[in-house]
Structure 1
Amino acid sequence: MFASILKARPGRRDRLAFAELHLIARACLIAILAALLARLLWVLVTPVGPLGDWRVAAPRFLSDGARDALLSSYDPFPGTPATVAAGGESVTDLDLQLFGTLLNRGAGTGSAIIAGEDGVQQSFAVGDEVSPGVRLAEVAFDHVVLDRGGVREMLYLDGALPADTIEVPDTSSAAAGTEAAAQAMIPDFEFEPRRTGGKITGIRLPITTDPALLSVIGLRAGDVIVSVNDVPVDSQADIDQLKSSLKPAARIRLMVERGAQTVPIAVNL
């Protein structure tokens, strides 16, 4: 092909060379397009991500024994007396009293207000001598650590003050006495049934009843109770129910025959 191009005339030779290059470029583009189409078809047939056949790992759970061992070794409250005691430190027996702490967690320092035997409160920084031979080693939220000749001892904030005891008076006996006194103020009325044609038709009190006693429930001599709380009186049980209802704070509605009239009476004891 190239030999024929070289033997051709110069003008024709340039045209042939351009046509050959055009064919070569077209073949390259067709090859690239075919490769891209093949890759696209492969992606559509096997949709796999850029990381391959990646899957989320299944969660791993500790066994019961391993979980118990882990929880038993973890202390959610570091610095408590139990943890510090395990490290060989104990509560100091010095006559000192801790009133407050100031902890600088960023710098790892702090200070504390401590009173000695004289009761005078002073502020001490970490490293200061609190008393002869005793230095402030560490400051925590609720306690400090003292270095007493190489022995570390703890001094806690004084939180052992007993709470005020409030005595609650026993009102049960007083209430019972008050109720008994109020019950004693209500007379024990002797109610008698009124009979008409052999049937009970009301309640009357003996004529000999003191008018002052009758006034306690708003009655007068000669009154006859014909209904209690809108229930007609027609049996001995109704009379007994009225007697048992006469208690402190009772509210009873009575209908009373007074002469030729029937009047309502509200009993408030």
Structure 2
Amino acid sequence: MTVSSLSVAQRLVRSAGRVQAVLSHPAMPATATVAALVLLCWTLAQGTWRVLQPASPAVARAGGADLTDLRGLRGVQLFGRATARAPAAEASVAPSNLNMTLTGVAARASGGCALVIVQGQPEAAFCSGEEVSPGVRLDTVERDRIVIVRNGAREAVFMKDAEGGAAGVAVPLPPIVQPIGTDRQLVDRRQLQQQLGRPEFLNQALIVPNPDGGFLVRQVQAGSLYEKLGLRPGDVIKNVNGQPLTSMDDVMRLYQQFGTAQRVLVDVQRQGRSETLYYD
């Protein structure tokens, strides 16, 4: 569905409260985490999920539509854009010795936001320019690290890779989805939650706001969970359980309502025709 006025920071929300805390950060960039929220709505975000950067900024596009924003922001992709860094600049930034753990990032061309654990405190979201702890300011957000400023010196904090996987690398998927008819799939929710814990999950598709409403599926990795769920490049996701997807308000309403839903119906526009995908 979408996160307008913010892009969920790339780390992984283990409870509904933590999802809402991150989504409510006022400075997060506009983006669309449609497919993830389609799945997460009816599992109530009990899985762990992370938005990761694509291995390459070049992405095959379907449909030819330009990226648009929902709340006045342009050019923000689902998985963000890593801030470019020159080799010399990278070498000059020493690793920080602060008790700080980087658990996720939402990078964009200018600035970005990050989820950070500081001194063992609860995970919190910060955006470029904000104070992470007394005397420590978040400077830049990149694909696998953040740069902080402490006492005038720049220091790097690198992404914690608890899963030990590399972004953009496909992994064998368990049999989560079983077709039970035309456009109808049976989803094993327990295994789905396990799959959501893989850092590769959200890197397996690219979904962006569509100028004419809904969200355009631009890329789907072959063999991915998204493909097994029936999504194809060029699909435009219009509604979920009859409710249109146009804003962050739609996302949060669905998020709150889908905790006990036994079935999810996703209406898509496919090659000029309307189709409905059913998930039980």
- Same fold at TM > 0.5: no
More helix by share: 1
Asked which structure has the greater CA Rg, the reply is 1
Q: Normalization by structure 2: what TM-score? A: 0.27
Which structure is higher in RCO with an 8 Å CA cutoff and minimum separation 6? 2
Q: Normalization by structure 1: what TM-score? A: 0.28
